[in-house]
Amino acid sequence: MTIAGRRTDPVRAQVDTRPRIRRGVLAAAVLPVAAAAAFAAAAVPATAATPNATSAATVSINTGQTLATVPATGVGTNGSVYDSKLIDAAVPGLMKNAGIGLIRFPGGTSSDTYNWKNNTDVLSGQAQSVNFDQYATLLSQSGAQGMITVNYGTGDTVGATQNPAETGAQFAADWVRYANVTHNYGIKYWEIGNEIYGNGTYGGTGWEPDKHCTSATSPTNCGPAVYAQNVKAYISAMKAVDPSIVIGVVLTAPGNWPDGVTNSASPQTWNQTVLSALGNQIGFADVHWYPQNPSTVTPPGPTDAGLLSDTSQIPTMVSSLRSSLSQYSGSANVPIMITETNSVSSNPGKQTLSIVNALYLEQDYLGWLQNGVSSVDWWQIHNGIVTTGDNGSSLYGTATYGDYGVLADGSCGTINGAQVCEPAADTPFPAYYGMQLLSKFIHPGDTLVSATSSQSLVKSYAVKAADGSLRVMLVNDDPSNSYSVGLSYSGFTPASGAPSVATLAPPGTSITTAASGSAAAQTIAPYSAAVITLQPGSTVTPPTTPGTPTASGVTSTSVNLSWTASTSSTGIAGYDVVSVNGTTETVVASPTTNSATISGLTPSTSYTFAVYAKDTAGNRSARSGTVAVTTSASSSSGGCKVTYAPNSWGGGFTANVTVANTGTTAWSGWTVAWTWPGDQKVTNAWNAQVTQSGTKVTATNVSYNGAVPAGGSTSFGFQGTWSSSNASPTAFTVNGNACTVG
């Protein structure tokens, strides 16, 4: 018996700080050939009630009420460094067929003990099963984007073993360089550590390794303020290598432990402390959500009805996160990514392998996405058999074990002295088919629109595709009753005839597709989900394309945009102005007329904007041409003086930079720029966000030191390396103005 990739994570209850284990004990056993068939037979529900007469429900769809656009990264999952099956030949195709757009690596708590350079665990020295290059190959073959969780917990520990010695931030920057500069893997999303709030800050010894803590029993020296301060160094070092990457920071899910918890060493909550310290340096908010705890943590444990109703919490959680982001970081538009989610916080039981978890999966992903979240990442691709979870008769199905994975890994365990095994490796579980059904419902770029159900146990969702078709998903959370659902539409006229319907029904081991019912009426069986694809009854004519926007009144923080208006036979309802960054679009304004003022911009920064038109029937035009805008530097009057004070040694140096406002007007923000005369490289910084491109360096104020009164000064510092020359720069600018050098 060996423990493979054990990870521990926080419990949901705020009064209980015992660890949770997401990966069970695995036995090194050979899977019997008949195991796959045995699982399919065992998955047949043993606890289903006798169906009652069909009940009625109505669903109203309003295609003119837009909820969100489906992002390319919307449907994601996790792949773990300890998962030997992750590199199976079947996995890329399975991920592609499930519509997976993002795969996170190296996996949970393992991230905070991972040495990516030699593919070992920092604490145990044990070799891991999947190295980074193999993971990059999986991304290439599956077409998914990547997300890397860099080692925060033991980063300094492994950095100290390098030659020359490095900080954890430098070790992470090396990974960015290897991935995106040396090998051009194009990993866009990076995050600093995994569930760091689980390091013991809020009681107990914690589960997340964190060597910043000097006391395992009372680690009051490594709370959220310490995490935020260290994250600054990570962000600075990593972005100095590749300024285009997006870096996420660990936050807590509102209403879930340890949200709202404080102590004497951390008098403000985790989210408030981290957001206040980092401000606009945050690329995305990294949040985990597991709605239930096993009975070993909070008796009596999971219930099927409870799980299926838990997703009603999602709108409130998103609203709370947006409020905190706005209040403490200055922007409610920071992307939110749910980088881990599944049904139960630890010790998974039979529920994870029943169709109940597949039905929950649909509602989990769609609940977050229609509230504007950028990614939802299921935990995980493979996990392994767990025989000690909740497997009682009150839960639906007849499985005798649990597994977080959407695919079997062929592992075995023991129940009452007898061996039980999973199906052959890579056999899909019901949750996988839930993902596959989801991929038939939403595609990147689709528009999620309003769908309202009269029956609380019948969940409804709708999405409008660019080709004018409409897809409706119905999920029946009732284990006993079928529902005859009447559907009505606003802003859409469906074609006549029976639409194509894809259905996932018990035991959840396949999806069937057939022409069924009508656009106005569908019947959905107990514990099942269906996707109805509807073609428009007549040719859809979207609004004409808006004219390319024209920019005027550009300031350091705002710009006025105007464009030629669109036309539509049904009337123009308004416009969406989007900020374009590569393949990512973010709606920054939704005016009803053909002009808008975009505010809250960053001084001396380039932006690209475009416009879509929307008509009263819910149709969206093609995107307009783009306009590039560069905001001006922060306004200043008079001069500036920069004092550069280096401290150099062989191959390395630190420098302190003092910036004085010698003018007559206060600065509300500042950007210092210079060019190295030598071959210096900035590796980390403090009291400023410092980036480097070639020999050009830019330092921008952080949230707490942007205001400099006339006659006042501020300072920042950084650490760097050099090879042949560490000559001091002789020219500096502040907010675009040349400064005297002291």
For the segment 225-276, what is each residue's pLDDT rounded down to a tens digit?
999 999 999 999 999 999 999 999 999 999 999 999 998 888 899 999 999 9
Q: How far, in Å, CA of 147 to CA of 144, rounded?
A: 10
Q: How far are the Cα atoms of 116, 127, 319 from residue 119, in angstroms, in the given order?
A: 5, 6, 39
State yes or no: pLDDT of 220 exceeds 70.
Answer: no
Q: State pLDDT tens for residues 271-295.
A: 999 999 999 899 999 999 999 999 9
CA dihedral angle for residue 101, residue 107, residue 111, residue 113, rounded to 10 degrees: -160
Query: pLDDT at position 691, please?
Result: 86
State yes or no: pLDDT of 29 exceeds 50.
Answer: no
Are 674 and 697 within 8 A, CB to CB? yes
Find all residues with CB under 8 Å of 276, minimum gap 6, and list them: 268, 328, 329, 703
State yes or no: pLDDT of 471 exceeds 60.
Answer: yes
Are 690 and 697 within 8 A, CB to CB? yes
Q: State pLDDT tens for residues 383-403.
A: 999 999 999 999 999 999 999
| Structure-token match 């996932």, residue found | 504
CATH number belonging to the domain at 640-741, selected among 2.60.40.290, 3.40.640.10, 3.40.50.300, 3.90.1150.150:
2.60.40.290
Are 145 and 71 within 8 A, CB to CB? no
Average confidence score pLDDT of the chain: 88
pTM of the full structure: 0.74
State yes or no: pLDDT of 327 exceeds 80.
Answer: yes
Give me the CATH topology for the region 550-630.
Answer: Immunoglobulin-like (2.60.40)
Quick one: which of 545, 149, 137, 586 has its CA closest to 333? 586
Mean pLDDT across 731-737: 87
Q: State pLDDT tens for residues 558-571.
A: 788 999 999 988 88
Q: Cα Rg for the chain, rounded, in angstroms?
A: 27
Query: pLDDT at position 39, please?
Result: 47
Are 492 and 499 within 8 A, CB to CB? no
> Quick check: do 8-441 and 550-630 share a fold?
no
Mean pLDDT across 704-725: 88
Residue 350 pLDDT level (bands cut at 50, 70, 90): very high
Share of the chain above pLDDT 90, in %: 68
Q: How far, in Å, CA of 34 to CA of 52, rounded?
A: 35
HSE of 470, CA atoms in CB hemisphere, 13 A = 28
State yes or no: pLDDT of 50 exceeds 70.
Answer: no
Task: Enumerate the β-bridge partners of residue 191.
Answer: 149, 248
Greatest mean pLDDT range, 207-221, 519-533, 563-577: 519-533
Residue 466 pLDDT level (bands cut at 50, 70, 90): confident
Q: How far, in Å, CA of 164 to CA of 161, rounded?
A: 8
Q: State pLDDT tens for residues 653-708.
A: 889 999 999 888 888 889 999 999 888 999 888 888 898 888 889 999 988 888 89
Q: State pLDDT tens for residues 117-148.
A: 999 999 999 999 999 999 999 999 999 999 99
Q: How far, in Å, CA of 690 to CA of 546, rounded?
A: 38
Greatest mean pLDDT range, 171-175, 262-266, 717-721: 171-175
Q: How far, in Å, CA of 690 to CA of 356, rounded?
A: 49
Residue type, 738: A
Give me the CATH topology for the region 8-441.
Answer: TIM Barrel (3.20.20)
Query: pLDDT at position 42, please?
Result: 44
Mean pLDDT across 627-649: 80
Is the omega angle on the peptide bond into residue 164 within 30 degrees of 0, that is, cis? yes
How many of the other CB atoms lie within 10 Å of CB of 402?
29
Assign 3-class secondary structure to 463-523: EECCCCCEEEEEEECCCCCCEEEEEEEECCCECCCCCEEEEECCCCCCEEEEECCCCCEEE
HSE of 134, CA atoms in CB hemisphere, 13 A = 19
- For the chain, the structural domain boundaries read 8-441, 550-630, 640-741
* Element spanning 579, H or E: strand 572-581
Quick one: which of 738, 668, 741 has its CA closest to 701? 668
